[in-house]
Structure 1
Amino acid sequence: MILAPDNRPANEVEDILQYLENCDSTHFLDFVEYIFQVDASKHLPSKSEFVDSINSFFDIDDLPYYLTDYVQTEEPGMYRGSPVKYIKVSAYPQVILKESQLVHSEAVKPALKLLTDPAFLSANNEFLEALEDYRKRDYGDCLTKCGSAFESVMKIICEKRKWQYDQKDAAASLLKTIISESNLEPFFTDPLLIVGTIRNRLSKSHGAGAAKKQAPQHIAHYTINSTAAAILLLVEETL
């Protein structure tokens, strides 16, 4: 579409604002994430306060979205011959779906906060990717990433507690090790393994064979919530 001269934006800012007023919600939310990735918020006194302001906007209008905060880690470096520590952004703010305020507040949000610990960096990235896949309706990949995040957390627990395991161990073997070494009762095995079972049955992590695998939205939603709850339980019981 070519705009008449009188309707063309006068500058880049007006061009962006015009686009945001007319684009669909998916592109608008992508733009919100992009603001942080290109550091367009660097002139703000507090980036975290900016994140909180956006979440307040979502809450006021009762929108089913939540913007995660920055995940930062310290890394050693040198400055003029002296050792220093640099702050590195490990994960930028990301818009996720918040379809249930109760579940979000009691499971997903606490799990995201727990995973900001640098030790859980890989699991945090995998869980954030699962949440992104869910928002973009890629439910098969969402299940895969949930399973990966769950396994990563269990491996980190084993490493921290110095419990013997193999890097190739899948969810069942890892959970067996954790339950045998911790105070978790064996009856937790089946409920906790549901994340891995759903991934194996419905995700894209294994070949579909003759029958095409379908991952429904409600199953992906359930798996995200189950993954968050499982991560919280395992970490609180073992670390």
Structure 2
Amino acid sequence: MSYEGLFGKELYSERTFPTNYDVLKYDKIPKKLRVQIFQQMLTIHMDGDLQLKEDEYTKEDIFYNIMLVLKQRRGVLSYKDLLPDKARNELEYRNHVKITAPYLVGEELEFYTLLIFADSSDYLLILDLIELLSYWMNDILLDWSSEMVDGMINELFRINGVGYELINNMIIHKGNEIIHKDVVRPTLYFLSDPTYSGANSEMLQAFKDFKQNNFKGAIHNANNAFESTMKIIIEKNKWQLVTPNPRQSVPTLPKATASVLIHTIDKNVALESFELSTLKGLKDTLQALATLRNSHTGHGQGSEIKETYIRHCEFALHTAATNILFLIRTYG
């Protein structure tokens, strides 16, 4: 029987009270979602849908690498060091993961035990586990197998109202659902073209910074991705750089500022006035937002200030993504 995930039979409770969240959850990953990942992975495994790229690989290699990297990055000797005290005490008597799947051993058992019994509020640990699972599945499994796992996890994120998605084996903060679907996801799709590898790395880093509450870094990298996209488009079209001020010397492409890049695009394609204003406005907005955190230096980091950073950072990421999408679709 082929794996169909959770797309088949819909429960009465799901039809009556659909998971249509206006505000997605970010700082708690519910145990229900983590148990469902465990259950669906068991189903995929039993159906024989985890197909390895090479004969010398084994499924155990995936979980060995996951736990090795996690312990090194977290600076712990045992996975139990990452569990809350209550869970450690409970596991001394009974491990429901082992009872459910007695054939699990070693690092695979450690992975699922940590995934399920980690504190719901330790969302960064849980997201690290899920991202590492996706990364090593992609590294060791055939593409269709790893894509099946990512699709299953993304569907579970969606139906549980958790505001993250796996794209290219990296956890991405979704923000607003509509913007994510119509702007962020298509932008990352276009940037995944090898031509835009530099801009892609910067945009992915911006979302990673946002996930880690490094809002200034997120805005900075979104700005870099915007500028890198313009540089790539200019180079791709073999346009000569043009400075806004004729008296200024023309820089090399790597050192060109956003103003020079925007002016160059305008002179080569005759931008509509609203298009030119939009690009200039984005440049000014990103530069202004980058100074937001500095303006509060020395003050207490209250919840209101943090919420301000989040709103401005989301705005910067979504605006940068919108303009990158426009540039690539139109000129790239």
Q: Same fold (TM over 0.5)?
A: yes
Equivalent pairs counted in the alignment come to 214
Equivalent position amino acid for 1:27 in 2: L
1:131 and 1:211, CA in 2 relative to 1: closer, same or farther beyond 3 A? closer
Shift of residue 39 of structure 1? 4.4
Structure 2 gaps of 5+ residues are 1-84, 99-104, 242-251, 299-304
Pick the aligned partner of 1:178 from 265, 268, 272. 265
Give the structure 2 partner of residue 198 of structure 1: 285
Structure 1 runs of 4+ aligned residues shifted over 6 Å read none
Partner Cα distance (2:213, 2:280) in 1: 24
Partner Cα distance (2:90, 2:279) in 1: 60
Shift of residue 60 of structure 1? 1.7
1:194 and 1:8, CA in 2 relative to 1: closer, same or farther beyond 3 A? farther
Equivalent residues in 2 for 1:58-77 (5 A)? Answer: 58-69=157-168
Equivalent position amino acid for 1:143 in 2: I
Pick the aligned partner of 2:297 from 189, 200, 212. 212
Pick the aligned partner of 2:235 from 159, 175, 179. 159
Equivalent position amino acid for 1:197 in 2: D
SS at match of 2:165: strand
Shift of residue 192 of structure 1? 1.9
Give the structure 2 partner of residue 102 of structure 1: 178
Equivalent position amino acid for 2:226 in 1: F
Pick the aligned partner of 1:118 from 194, 202, 206. 194
**Corresponding position: 1:17 with 2:102:** no
Give 1 or 2 for the bigger CA radius of gyration: 2
TM-score (norm 2): 0.58
1:6 and 1:133, CA in 2 relative to 1: closer, same or farther beyond 3 A? closer
**Contact 2:196 2:232 (8 Å CA) reproduced:** yes
1:132 and 1:4, CA in 2 relative to 1: closer, same or farther beyond 3 A? closer
SS at match of 1:62: coil
Pick the aligned partner of 1:225 from 318, 324, 327. 318
Partner Cα distance (1:61, 1:109) in 2: 20
**Contact 1:179 1:186 (8 Å CA) reproduced:** no
**Structure 1, 180-189 or 162-171: larger mean CA deviation:** 180-189
Cα displacement string for residues 134-182 of structure 1 (whole angstroms, at most 9, x for unaligned residues): 1221110000000000000000000011011332111111011101111
**Contact 1:183 1:237 (8 Å CA) reproduced:** no
TM-score (norm 1): 0.78
Identity of aligned residues (%): 26
**Structure 1, 18-27 or 156-165: larger mean CA deviation:** 18-27
Cα displacement string for residues 199-226 of structure 1 (whole angstroms, at most 9, x for unaligned residues): 323327x995x87398711111011111
**Corresponding position: 1:34 with 2:132:** yes
- Give the strand-richer structure, 1 or 2: 1
